[in-house]
Amino acid sequence: MKTLFTRFPENPILTPQSISASSADLKIECLLNPGAFRYNGRTGLLLRVAERPVQREGMISFPIYDMQTGIKVIEIATNDPELNLDDPRVICYKGEDFLTTISYLLPVFSEDRIHFETDPAYGPLLGQDKYSAYGIEDCRVSQINDLYILTYTSVSPQGVAVGMKTTHDWITFEESGLIFPPHNKDCAVFEEKINDRYFAFHRPSSPEIGGNYMWLAQSPDLKHWGNHQCIARTREGHFDSARLGAGAAPIRTDKGWLAIYHGATEKNRYCLGAMLLDLNDPSILLARSEEPLMEPQEAYEMKGFFGEVIFNNGHLVNGDELTIYYGAADEVICGAKASIREILSTLDT
Amino acid sequence: MKTLFTRFPENPILTPQSISASSADLKIECLLNPGAFRYNGRTGLLLRVAERPVQREGMISFPIYDMQTGIKVIEIATNDPELNLDDPRVICYKGEDFLTTISYLLPVFSEDRIHFETDPAYGPLLGQDKYSAYGIEDCRVSQINDLYILTYTSVSPQGVAVGMKTTHDWITFEESGLIFPPHNKDCAVFEEKINDRYFAFHRPSSPEIGGNYMWLAQSPDLKHWGNHQCIARTREGHFDSARLGAGAAPIRTDKGWLAIYHGATEKNRYCLGAMLLDLNDPSILLARSEEPLMEPQEAYEMKGFFGEVIFNNGHLVNGDELTIYYGAADEVICGAKASIREILSTLDT
């Protein structure tokens, strides 16, 4: 099929080497899955930075946040009989699961939307409570008037849930705690109210009946959510056969809310698709991509920390031009552009 | 240990034979897990009735709600190669999971708190939307002033979630949709506001990191919930090693909120325990039973549709006397009494 998205020739635009680790003991393993926003005339990305301790021979070490002491590194002999390393992303020790890396969020800024740099005025956002002991990940940034709404995955021994904070100035933040309980991620708040209610996509997961489906919730105040509705399920044999989840906030178009989302197969191949939802009642799905709009194909998408992954949770709209920022192979950050009109033309309404 | 709860000598007080099935094609398999309330001078129980089609030789049949036609029975030849019956509670057909029974809620009333009967004025509450196609289960009934708040498990191909409806008269109900998305159950709303917020217990489950833990949420209006906090996790080697969940609304005492909860082991043995929570901030756990307060021991608790199960989600308080109603062996309904003061004395604060 015709390529809808044109990748930046500069890709990848950010790699683990682009920035410094938070301490000498730690190494940046991955830069990935940024939220995108505009602030004070500049384009901002809120990167997910995943760090891992520098490993020593015969030992395995991993970091967790400790509410008293900050980041704490736990080190275990690799021959410890209570250690289980069967899953490369997870360390199981004494029956408890830990992550190999810990993530935090880092804002970077650009004048040209391509070259991004940190700004000492705007520091990193770290996990800071018992619900983020294993880090915070994959933040969506929605903007309503001058309020920025940050919704992110908060990981801890209590589970994987959705946390929220808001800011006007990227310096002081109001914490809202967990707005969705475990197991949940991929939350993006709509950038305007509909019938006097806020709306958000989210992605609960079920250990039994059910699956990894896209849901919609409503709120009077952004902090309390209800009237949960399932808007899209996985589809056997499609690019979204095992799970799907929202990208950034949906885009208002004449035809409906256009949502760019990710779908993954049982083999963890992540592609992007689109769906169109009713403008007045976004629980009504009007159309959905049969084929992916964008799939892993470039070398930086095919190989990395976790290959064959394109994951998008930040974009900017300028008239008909959609610029997406995405994590490639769970390791580097890339950009691409598409025409919103052309994306809509692929959706059979 | 000393027996805290005195079982009703009349146990079981209700069995599948006590009431009639909703149609001639269906058979009541289990009566279980009632909510309890007082209304117009009588004691009410809101039973969970689980029905199954009468089975024919060589076929397996199960019911689902169809939004157009009501209850619909699906029948499949037992030798169909796309049928999988490995789990006795679940029928897997063409990759989709169905339940062997479908549940609805039925109010019954009593003058003496022991002998309960249906009342033609108060009909059953059925699943009625796409989130309850496999039924509604295990309803807690909380009362705030003259408002009854019904929170129940809503089961469908979309997952297992928490629905809510409210009533003043047990005849007309206001529907609130799903207040917690999948995977969630065991929701009980506190019967008064704390610091101008409603509170509820709930029990999300995680397919990965995390588990089946008891959580607390807050709401300004009962319909929208946020600030989710984990209040109690499973404990290895204890009666609540695999999962735990709230019973009915917690009981206000001088020492704190007393919550009777169920805990289950990996072998699905269900017992009752208690926890005490701070009156002003119920996210603070003050004490928790080390040993079960009540465990399956009577014949009607040890053998049934699913043996070794005591499950309580309804109680009434009269001064120091707590009367609990509970499902025994997932098949019959029983009652027991205890002194609140004696329960508190078992909790080490």
| Tens-digit pLDDT profile for residues B139-179 | 999 999 999 999 999 999 999 999 999 999 999 999 999 99
Domain for residue B248, yes or no? yes
pLDDT at B95 > cutoff 90: no
pLDDT at B346 > cutoff 90: yes
Which domain range does residue B93 map to? Answer: 6-345
Q: A283 at the B interface (CB within 8 A)?
A: no
Domain for residue A1, yes or no? no
By the 10 Å C-beta count (0-12 exposed, 13-18 middle, 19+ buried), B130 is classed as: middle
In this predicted structure, what is the pLDDT of residue A149? 98
Chain A residue nearest residue B90, CA to CA: A209
Residues 237-256 of B with CB under 8 A from A: none
- pLDDT tier for residue B2 given thresholds of 50, 70 and 90: low
CA–CA min distance B12, chain A (Å): 31
Domain for residue A13, yes or no? yes
Mean pLDDT of B283-302: 98
- Can you tell me the distance from the alpha carbon of A136 to that of A127, in angstroms, rounded to the nearest whole number? 6
Domain for residue A322, yes or no? yes
Question: What does pLDDT average to in each consecutive run of 10 residues of chain A (349 residues)?
Answer: 87 96 91 97 98 92 84 90 83 85 96 97 92 96 98 96 98 97 98 98 94 98 98 97 98 98 97 98 98 97 95 98 97 98 93
Of A155, A157, A207, the CB nearest to B205: A207
In 10 A of CB B203, how many CB atoms? 24
Residue among B38, B152, B44 nearest B108 (CA): B44
Contact B159 A204 (CB under 8 A): yes
Q: A63 at the B interface (CB within 8 A)?
A: no
Domain for residue A204, yes or no? yes
In this predicted structure, what is the pLDDT of residue B287? 98
Residue among A232, A326, A214 nearest A288 (CA): A232
pLDDT at B240 > cutoff 90: yes
Contact B228 A184 (CB under 8 A): no
In this predicted structure, what is the pLDDT of residue B164? 98
Q: Tokens 């946020």 identify what position? A: B226
Span B5-15, pLDDT tens digits: 999 999 999 99
Contact A134 B181 (CB under 8 A): no
Residue among A174, A117, A191, A126 nearest A154 (CA): A126
State the greatest distance between any 2 C-alpha atoms of chain B, in Å, as a whole number. Answer: 61
Q: A284 at the B interface (CB within 8 A)?
A: no
In this predicted structure, what is the pLDDT of residue A120? 96
Contact B228 A180 (CB under 8 A): yes
pLDDT mean across residues, chain B: 95
In this predicted structure, what is the pLDDT of residue A2? 58
- pLDDT tier for residue B241 given thresholds of 50, 70 and 90: very high
Domain for residue B66, yes or no? yes
Q: Tokens 């959609």 identify what position? A: A322
Span B309-323, pLDDT tens digits: 999 999 999 999 999
Mean pLDDT of B317-342: 98
pLDDT at B1 > cutoff 80: no
- Can you tell me the distance from the alpha carbon of A337 to that of A325, in angstroms, rounded to the nearest whole number? 9
Residues 91-110 of A with CB under 8 A from B: 95, 97, 99
Count of domains observed in chain B: 1
Of B95, B161, B209, the CB nearest to A97: B209
pLDDT at B79 > cutoff 70: yes
Rg over CA atoms, chain B: 19
> Residue B243 in 3-state DSSP?
strand
Contact B204 A215 (CB under 8 A): no
ipTM higher than threshold 0.90: yes
Domain for residue B158, yes or no? yes
CATH number at residue B236: 2.115.10.20
Q: How many CB pairs under 8 A join A and B?
A: 153
In this predicted structure, what is the pLDDT of residue B272? 98
Q: Which of B62, B189, B209 to mutate to test the interface with A (most CBs of A within 10 A)?
A: B209
Domain for residue A98, yes or no? yes
Q: Tokens 């209570």 identify what position? A: A82
Contact B211 A131 (CB under 8 A): no
pLDDT at B62 > cutoff 80: yes
